[in-house]
Structure 1
Amino acid sequence: MNETTKKTSTTTTGTGEKKTIVQVVDEKTNLKTRVEITDENSNKKVFYRVNKKQKNKKKRPNDDPDHPQQPGPNQCHYFVKRKNRYCHLCTKKGKLYCGEHAVFDPENQERIPCPYDNAHSVVKKDLEKHLERCNSRPRPKDECYVENCNIRDLAALEKTKEKTPREELKEMSKEDFDKFVERILNAYNDAYKGQEIPTEILDHEALNERKKINSLKKEDVYLEFGAGKGELTYYVRKAVGDPSTYILVDRRNFRMKFDRENKKKKGENSTNPNEDSITTNEESIETIPSDSEKSLTVQKRLYMDIKDLCLAKLSLLKDKKLVAVSKHLCGCATDLTLKCLVNYTDAVPNSVKTVFIALCCHQICKYGMYCNPEYLAHYGFNQEDFEKICVLTTWAICGKREPKPDKEGEGESKGVEEEEEEEDDEEEAKDELKKSELEDGENPDEPHWSGMTFEERTAFGRKCKRFLDMGRVHYLRDHGYKNVRLVHYVTQKYSLENCALIVNNM
């Protein structure tokens, strides 16, 4: 049996209860194996065990950074530093490197790095053909491209500091931190003035209730920001019907799974063999034949960052009303979207009809992109305060929830099919959450540097999120948008990020 040591500490909760915490640590692995919490008032003991996977994880031979496992026969000799091992691919007879890493072979004369992306290589004789179809090739600029037109303050984005906002928060004295928390709570209470955000449960089926959503009309243009694979547009189109017009904006080239689903749906009931095809030109416009031979449903994908999107130059929007939607638009992407819409209505008044944006990932908001700095200044918050508030928003969503049971027939087959590429913003948001979870510890009852309990931190984190969201509401109202409000569109049981910004500008 491995030897263990015990670390004992005492803490006092917000209700005055004293608790003694004993952490049992395995000396060999330096991992916690058990946590014992004793309530001194009731003399009750609670035991927590660490994750068995973490406790029983065996160290693989190639996990040793000083002695990595050597490559076997016919194995590539390229060392992958990130994984601390050699490449697993096989080599040709007499070669030391696989085809992908042949560029590192001094004797190689066949393969060269791709000029567009050094992460992959190409056979020298096929270079010309490869450059025509390489996924990393620079795309032609769209008609609506205007560099950084939706960024509010570029100088603020370029500022750098020695310490992160998270480190600055932890280094604050207890008195200064409590004052900062009080300032945020006072600002939140003043912004909402006792009003609560209503809950209106929405789902894909609600889109079919055309009487409730009278903004769904075929003559409007539907634009999805951060479209990804295009699932939200797919359900909007099912509700609106054909012919209609859709624009999908995303800076990454996804698998476009639901674009293909649109094609499949139209082809199933079509009597014309040519109607189930989707034609694509250099501008990424897809025309999907509808039941009427005289008109078409138009779907256009824009592979660009929202920060460079100028809607006033988009020809598809000419003389039409715009309905903007987005499902989980991460952090500053929401602020870029709101700035994009306001710039559009400044150039073309009364052009935006409806907006629906599901808000999320406030921890990766950036001051130079936040749409309403005047709102922050009104409550006495500067850039440093804003960055600290963004860090505190993680407290609302870093809690542990029970996993939802899979539906029948959806077990293992779902995993590989539904695996999608992740946005850079999503990866950054997950990194921020990971930091927050690590500092909070595995057990929510352990003492926290803030002096607040787990429940208090969760409630305070949600208020930080809603305080920033109210600044977005005021920004749209100040620029002439009507009926701007926040809504909880699902319960927290299904998503901790359950708040949406809705505009009914009709």
Structure 2
Amino acid sequence: MASRCQFWLPKKNRFCAVAPINDSKFCGNHSSRADGEMVPCPVDPSHLYVLYIHFSSFVLRENLEGHVKRCPLLKQTQSLAVQPFYQKGINAGEEDLLSSEESDSGLSDCISSEMKRNIVYGMSGPQFHRLLGKIRALHDLICKDIQDSYKIKEACNMWIKGEIDRKIPFQEKHVLQQASILGNMEEFGMLRNYDGGEQCEGERSDGNKANVVPAVVEFGAGRGYLTQMLADCYGIKRVFLVERKSYKLKADRSLRQKESLILERLRIDIEDLNLNAVEALRHNSYLAIGKHLCGPATDLALRCCLTKQSYLADTEQCRDKPKLSGLAIATCCHHLCQWKHYTNKRYLLELGITKEEFLAITWFTSWAVDASHSEDISDVSDSKTYLQYSENEGDQMNGSTVDDIVKDMNTVERAVLGFMCKEIIDMGRLMWLKEYGLESQLVKYVPSTISPENHLLIAKCRNFCAT
């Protein structure tokens, strides 16, 4: 009998490494006896899917009862459900702006990349051409003022020069991105060095907020090294790290060694986080930050901070709630964005972008990071002539398929289209922030040679100043 499963994994170009069962050539995940007998885990149907190569996203029906008893997420799920800040789907958004015709289109709430690709490649040549024209026109209309803003402040020198605890992982490209996020926050007037400032305790009895240190909520915190730099360089006193997954080599150990800093890690999906119900954050002002919040996580974080919260109201009901002072969120992975979660559906609909076109736009964004970025090609204002097609060209595409058209596009053309689509998505988010009365900007916080994922949404309440 073979020592390993004989199921071939084309993506890894090898056989499955799991040992086969009994007299079979296959492991339990790939055995033919499981066909038609598999059911999703009722605790969390997605938690095994992440490791689908070695672990099926389903469980044998005959083993289901035993699996549920020992499911590793069961205890975590039960513990989370009783937390006051857990509210299932509170920040998810709704499909509330679709017409009945669009609602019956058959598209579900969560659209996979393959489904998005099928939407694009299911178009005719002229339809695809018209979509490119609409993208270019929309980009010309709303994406006029996205500035380069690579800001490295003196406060971050200890990290830039590597003068930090050697136990902390140091990668220059990540340090430069983190430093520029904080530099932009300082430049925008929402951050300063708080060493020696008072503990974050909301409004003081004398009404003076000048020396009060805001709390910091990092969304999608991962290992927490953006917060680590913030604490090291600016003297933040209270931090909340929001992350749904567990990580090794976290910054928590180093952060907890700071006697003046209070750290709380919330292991929860941003979609389910009711920030108003976090007891330790009540009565406090806070800054929301996030580095590379993938796809819909940006929309979930924005809605978590702003929706269902009258943060500018000075009513008795709102005084004990956390008060957003400002935010800085570096967006990422726009190809994962979903229509349901997107914050500014109304804005795009008013501009003539349908749900299907939005999904196609998100799929195009992956082309921005496909190219080699040895040169900065993210300035689409100098490159978008690649996408200037005449109406006659559109008519000539009647016999062409989308596959033919895409093959005729070179790498730079595809990258330019991808960057344009990224900017359109983020500008919609910027407009949404402005609707809430925040002073907001969308900037490129690092050159694309450092990272092609270089958009930073930065905003502050108009009555807030860190100095």
Q: TM-score, normalised by structure 1?
A: 0.58
State whether residues 365 and 390 of structure 1, in contact with CA within 8 Å, keep that contact through their aligned partners in structure 2.
yes
Pair 1:331 & 2:304 matched = no
1:145 aligns with 2:145: no
Is 1:300 aligned with 2:272? no
AA in 2 matched with 1:353: S
Do structure 1's residue 186 and structure 2's residue 137 form an aligned pair?
yes
Q: Does the CA-based 8 Å contact 1:150-1:307 persist in structure 2? A: yes
- Which runs of structure 2 are paired with 1:142-221 in the superposition (5 Å)? 142-153=83-94, 160-161=106-107, 164-192=115-143, 194-202=144-152, 203=176, 204-205=178-179, 207=182, 212=187, 215-216=191-192, 217=194, 219-221=213-215
For 2:133, the aligned partner's letter is: E
1:44-72 deviation line (CA, Å, top 9, x unaligned): xxxxxxxxxxxxxxxx994669xx99999
Alignment gaps of 5+ in structure 1 = 1-59, 86-102, 107-111, 121-130, 267-287, 291-296, 403-445
Distance in structure 2 (CA, Å) of the matches to 1:394 and 1:481:
30
User: Structure 1 residues 475, 257: closer, same or farther in 2, change over 3 A?
Assistant: same
Answering whether residue 327 of structure 2 is matched by residue 355 of structure 1, we say yes
Residues 66-111 of structure 1 deviation map (CA, whole Å, 9 limit, x = unaligned) = xx999999999794365789xxxxxxxxxxxxxxxxx99x9xxxxx
Shift in alpha-carbon separation, 1:234–1:83, aligned structure 2, 3 A: farther
The match for 1:379 among 344, 351, 354 is: 351
How far the C-alpha of 1:462 sits from its partner, in A, is 0.4
Structure 1 residues 209, 146: CA separation in 2 closer, same or farther (over 3 Å shift)?
closer
One of 327, 337, 347 as aligned partner of 1:365: 337
**Is residue 2:334 matched to residue 1:341?**
no
Local SS of the residue matching 1:289: coil
Q: 1:147 to 1:504 in 2, by over 3 A?
A: same
Is the alpha carbon distance of 1:245 and 1:453 closer, same or farther for their aligned partners in structure 2, counting shifts above 3 Å? same
Classify 1:210/1:398 alpha carbon distance in 2 versus 1 (closer, same or farther; 3 Å). Answer: closer
State the distance in 1 between where 2:420 and 2:405 align.
19
Q: What letter corresponds to residue 334 of structure 1 in structure 2?
A: T
Say whether 1:289 aligns with 2:239. Answer: no
Cα RMSD (Å) of the superposition?
4.0
Residue identity over aligned pairs, in percent, reads: 26
* Cα distance change on mapping 1:146 and 1:486 into 2, 3 Å: same
- Code of the residue aligned with 2:245 in structure 1: it is R
**Counterpart amino acid of residue 479 in structure 1:** Y
Q: 1:211 to 1:474 in 2, by over 3 A?
A: closer
Q: Does the 8 Å contact 1:310/1:344 carry over to 2? A: no
Structure 2 SS opposite 1:237: helix
CA distance in 1, matches of 2:132, 2:120: 11
Letter in 1 for 2:283: D
What's the TM-score once normalised by structure 2's chain length?
0.62
2:233 to 239, 259, 263: 239
* 1:145 CA drift (Å): 1.9
- Please point out which of 417, 429, 446 is paired with 1:472: 429
From the two aligned structures, give the one with the greater helix fraction.
Answer: 2
Q: CA–CA distance in 2 between the matches of 1:488 and 1:369?
A: 24
Query: How far is 1:316 from its partner?
Result: 2.3
CA contact (8 A) 1:208 1:239 kept: no
Is residue 80 from structure 1 mapped to residue 27 from structure 2 by the alignment?
Answer: yes
Change (3 A) 1:251 1:349: farther
Could you tell me which runs of 5 or more consecutive residues in structure 2 were left unpaired when the two chains were aligned.
Answer: 10-14, 33-58, 109-113, 153-175, 198-212, 315-322, 375-402
Question: Which residue is equivalent to 2:393?
Answer: none
**Counterpart for residue 247 of structure 2:** 254
> 1:340 corresponds to which letter in structure 2?
C
Aligned ranges 1:323-472 → 2 under 5 Å = 323-343=287-307, 345-346=309-310, 349=313, 351-400=323-372, 449=406, 451-472=408-429
Report if aligned partners of 2:219, 2:289 keep a CA contact under 8 Å in 1.
Answer: yes
Larger RCO (CA under 8 A, 6+ residues apart): 2
Displacement of 1:358 in angstroms is 0.6
Residue 324 of structure 1: how far off its partner (Å): 0.5
Residues of 1 paired with 2:7 and 2:94: CA distance?
A: 45
Q: How many residues get paired? A: 337
Instruction: Please state which structure has a larger fraction of its residues in strand.
Output: 1
Greater shift in the superposed pair: 217-226 or 153-162: 153-162
Counterparts in 2 of 1:172 and 1:76: CA distance versus 1, 3 Å: same
Given the superposition, is the C-alpha separation of residues 365 and 347 from structure 1 closer, same or farther in structure 2, using an over 3 Å criterion? same
Distance 1:84 1:348, change over 3 A: farther
Letter in 2 for 1:142: Q
Match of 2:441 among 453, 468, 485: 485
**Residue 164 of structure 1 aligns to a residue in which SS?**
helix
Give CA-to-partner distance per residue, 1:395-415, whole Å, 9 cap, x none: 11122457xxxxxxxxxxxxx
Once the two structures are TM-superposed, the CA of residue 137 in structure 1 deviates from its matched residue by 5.9
Q: Is the 8 A contact 1:170 1:449 kept in 2?
A: no
Q: Is the 8 A contact 2:119 2:356 kept in 1?
A: no
How far apart, CA to CA, are the structure 2 residues paired with 1:376 and 1:71? 48
User: Is the CA contact (8 Å cut-off) linking 1:166 and 1:388 kept in structure 2?
Assistant: yes
Separation (CA, whole Å) in 1 of partners of 2:91 and 2:219: 14
Provide the C-alpha distance between the structure 2 equivalents of 1:355 and 1:69, rounded to a whole number of angstroms.
45
Q: Distance between the aligned counterparts of 1:78 and 1:401, measured in 2? A: 45
Distance 1:394 1:504 in 2: 30
The Cα offsets for residues 249-270 of structure 1, whole Å up to 9 and x where unpaired, read as 111222362101224xx3xxxx
77 and 335 in structure 1: CA distance in 2 versus 1, 3 angstrom threshold: same
